[in-house]
Amino acid sequence: MKKQDFFYQLPQELIAQTPIEPRDHSRLMVLNRQTGQVQHKHFYDLIDYLQPGDALILNDSRVIPARIYGIKDETQVPVEFLLLESKGLNTWEVMVRPGRRLKPGAHVTFGEGILKAEILQVLEGGNRLVQFTCEENIYSVLEKIGQMPLPPYITQKLEDQERYQTVYSRELGSAAAPTAGLHFTPELLQKIQQKGVNLGYVTLHVGLGTFRPVKVDEITEHKMHSEHYFMPQQTADLINQTRANGKRVIAVGTTSCRTLESVPLTDGKVSACEGYTNIFIYPGYQFQLLDALVTNFHLPESTLIMLVSAFAGYENTMRAYHTAVQEHYRFFSFGDAMFIE
C-alpha cells in the first residue's frame, strides 16, 4: 500500500488544542469492524460496550517534563534539549537544537546549574547521547525545570500539566502521552470494574517516533522507531484467563496494542516479559491478542492510522474518518475517541 492511501483532508480547526472537561465528556465514535457501521456517543458511554469478564489493558507510562532549556557553556548560546530515552546512569538519548552547535565534548548548563550535560556522541539521525550530572534524582530536577513535550500541532499553552497524563500513569519514561487513556476518570474506571470488567496494566514508554512522519511512498519501506515495553506477570495471567474464558482483550491505545502484539506467545499464552519493540502494524497484519481497541483519531498518513486500518479494515477506517470530519469530531492528542469492536 502507498502512503497516500491513508491521507484524508482535515480542517485545521478540528485539531484539538485543549482537552475537554471533564475528561470522559469527549465524544466517542463506536465502529463495528464487521459491518462498518458507526454510532455517535460520549466517552462515558464506553461502559455500555464492555462486558463482564472483558480485560481492559492500559498503558501506565507517565510523561516526563522532558523539554529543557539551557546555555552552552563555551559560547553562552541558548540551546534546547528534548529527552527521549534513558540509556542508564543519567545517560540519555536527546534531541537537541541547534544541533550544529552541540558536538561531542560540548557542555550545557540548565536551571542555573542544578543540571549539567556533556555531549558524548552524535547518533544516527542527528540525536545526541548525553551524560547528565546533578546532585538529586534527574526526574526530580526535570519536575523543577522541565516543560511537558506537547506535540507540534498543539500550539496553545497547557495550563494544567497533569492534563497531559492519564489518571493511572505511574511509570516515568514517556516523551509523549498514551493519549487514548486521557479520557478516563477514576470514577469511570471504578464503574467499569464494578461491572465486572478487569483492568490490566502494561508499560510502553512512548517515544517521539510516534510523531515521525512516513516519508517513503511504499509503506513497507518505513523504518519504525523502537520503544521499551514491560508485561507484568499479573497482566499476563489476566490476559490468559480472559482468553480461556472466551472473553475479549481490549487495548486502550495504540501503545497498549503494540505491546500486546509484541509479546511472545508460548503455546498461545502470554508470560511476563520486557524488551524493545519496533513492530509496524499495517493492513494485512494478523492480530494475536487484540479483540477490541480504544483509540483517538490520528494524523493523516501516520503509522497510527495504518495500525487502526489493519484492525478495523482499511475501507471502514477511512470511511469512519471522513464521517468524523463531517461530524466535526476533535482530532489528535486532546481530541475525541473511537471504540472499535
pLDDT score at 101: 82
Q: Is the pLDDT of residue 71 over 70?
A: yes
CA angle 300–305–310, rounded 5-degree value? 145
Cell 472537561 found at: 21
Per residue in 285-338, pLDDT (tens digit) is: 999 999 999 999 999 999 999 999 999 999 999 999 999 999 999 999 999 999
pLDDT score at 33: 97
* pLDDT interval class at 260 (50, 70, 90): very high
pLDDT score at 157: 85
pLDDT score at 210: 67
Averaged pLDDT, 209-227: 87
Residue 102 grid cell: 552541540
Question: Which is it for the CA torsion 324, 330, 333, 334, positive or negative?
Answer: negative
pLDDT score at 159: 87
For residue 58, the cross-strand partners are 201
- The rounded distance, in Å, linking the Cα atoms of 303 and 64 is 23
pTM: 0.93
Per residue in 167-207, pLDDT (tens digit) is: 999 999 998 999 999 999 999 999 999 999 999 999 999 98
pLDDT score at 120: 97
pLDDT score at 221: 95
H/E run at residue 322: helix 314-326
Q: Spell 89-101 as b/e; 16+ CB within 10 A means b.
A: eeebbbbbeeeeb
**Does residue 98 have a cis peptide bond before it, meaning omega lies within 30 degrees of 0?**
yes
Per residue in 43-68, pLDDT (tens digit) is: 999 999 999 999 999 999 999 999 99
Average pLDDT, the chain: 95
Helical residues (DSSP H) of 162-302, grouped into ranges = 186-194, 233-244, 254-260
Contact residues for 190 (Cβ-Cβ < 8 A; gap 6+) = none
Averaged pLDDT, 94-103: 90
Per residue in 2-38, pLDDT (tens digit) is: 999 999 999 999 999 999 999 999 999 999 999 999 9
Return the percentage of the chain with pLDDT > 70, whole number: 99
* pLDDT interval class at 211 (50, 70, 90): low
- The rounded distance, in Å, linking the Cα atoms of 105 and 186 is 47
Return the percentage of the chain with pLDDT > 90, whole number: 89
- The rounded distance, in Å, linking the Cα atoms of 174 and 204 is 8
For residue 145, the cross-strand partners are none
**Does residue 22 have a cis peptide bond before it, meaning omega lies within 30 degrees of 0?**
yes
